[in-house]
Amino acid sequence: MGEGHDIWAKVRVTDDGLVDALARFLERSGCDVRSTSGAELEVRTGAFAFGANADLLELDLYLRLWEAATGAVAVRVA
């Protein structure tokens, strides 16, 4: 994990049964992931993005890729 990547974003999955699958996908993409409750995760991006806005854009890209691959929906809520 690169320095300066201390922004944790909250992500909600519409299907509780897919939370673990999303967590594994994001971890394979270089993100740090921690479980919060139910269908929510906290996610911090890897070393590719530079700055807060870029970190969130990177995360949004990963979420869109996961949605396209699975047909499920994941939303960044904070």
Domains of the chain in start order, with CATH, are 9-76 (3.30.70)
Asked whether 36 and 10 are in contact (CB, 8 A), the reply is yes
The string of pLDDT tens digits covering residues 31-57 is: 999 998 889 999 998 765 566 688 888
Q: Report the pLDDT value the prediction gives residue 48, as an integer from 0 to 100.
A: 58
* pLDDT band (50, 70, 90) for residue 3: very low
pTM greater than the 0.75 cutoff:
yes
Asked whether 20 and 68 are in contact (CB, 8 A), the reply is no
